[in-house]
Amino acid sequence: MNRYFSLRQLAIHALGTVSVLACLVLANWQWDRAQAYVPPTTLAAKTFDELSPLRDYLPASSVGIPTTVTGTWQPNERILLPQRIIDGKSMVNPNPETEVIAEWVGPVGYWVVDIMELSDASSLGVVRGFAENPDEIELASGEASVTGVMQPSEDVPGLKLVNKIKPLTTKLIVANSKTIAHDGYLVVTSASEPLVPVSPIFSEPVVAGLNWRNVAYTFNWIFFAVIIGMMWIRVTRDELEFAQIAKNNADLGHDNES
């Protein structure tokens, strides 16, 4: 039985175990991302750590949930998003397959986005409000606590804005942040004058069917796990055969010497 647990075999078993487990963990992660989330009957407030615990993607179940964050504004990192209106939902293209030009009755201006650095040194994009003349809005500075609802990056599958409006994406926030940034952004629910509060695009958690791209990734990782398992078995058998051949040769040499 020692030949099954030689140092070389133990190394092969360790590598095979870690590789298969890694593939299964990644498959589970992709499956979790592919799931549809049903909004709760009441949108109870949660802590920000509950909504965005991983800082790699914003769970669909965290969208539209009220939360409060406290941190320090990063100076000179403002993002101005032009050609926008107060009502975020009215900016959404109902038919993402085509270009839609919408005419609005209300004022057209800018969403004012400032970057907040949280206590764990991570960054969060915060839509502080709407302004027709953003030059009149002072840069945010110092420590602050803001309450709002989380929104996904505006380049998520299935979301397209009318009038070729520039989307507010996580990539854009990362480019203007001084530290690692959270996915998505926060829309404050009560802006201070002269800013006007913005109505978010998503007022409740996103409800959709399975994201088939993530489902495909799930099965890809399972397939990789199977392939690695087969390679693991094959390498183990080859090592045993080589060990047996070496043993037979050694025994033959010993018999010849006798």
Contact in structure between 150 and 172 (CB atoms under 8 Å):
no
Strand residue runs (E) in 132-173: 143-151
CA triple 214-15-12, angle to 5 deg: 140
Question: What is the pTM for the complete model shown?
Answer: 0.66
Handedness of CA 58, 61, 65, 70 (dihedral sign): negative
Residues 6 or more apart in contact with residue 205 via CB below 8 angstroms: 37, 38, 39, 40, 60, 61, 62, 63, 64, 65
pLDDT at 206: 67
Contact in structure between 115 and 124 (CB atoms under 8 Å):
yes
CA–CA separation, 210 and 231 (whole Å):
32
Greater pLDDT, 174 or 106: 174
What tokens were used for 236? 């183990």
pLDDT at 188: 96
CA–CA separation, 50 and 111 (whole Å):
26
Contact in structure between 44 and 67 (CB atoms under 8 Å):
no
For the chain, give the number of residues.
258
Of the given ranges (110-114, 179-183, 252-256), which has the lowest mean pLDDT?
252-256
**DSSP state letter for 191:** P
Pairing outcome for strands 66-73 and 109-118:
antiparallel
Greater pLDDT, 205 or 77: 77
pLDDT at 45: 84
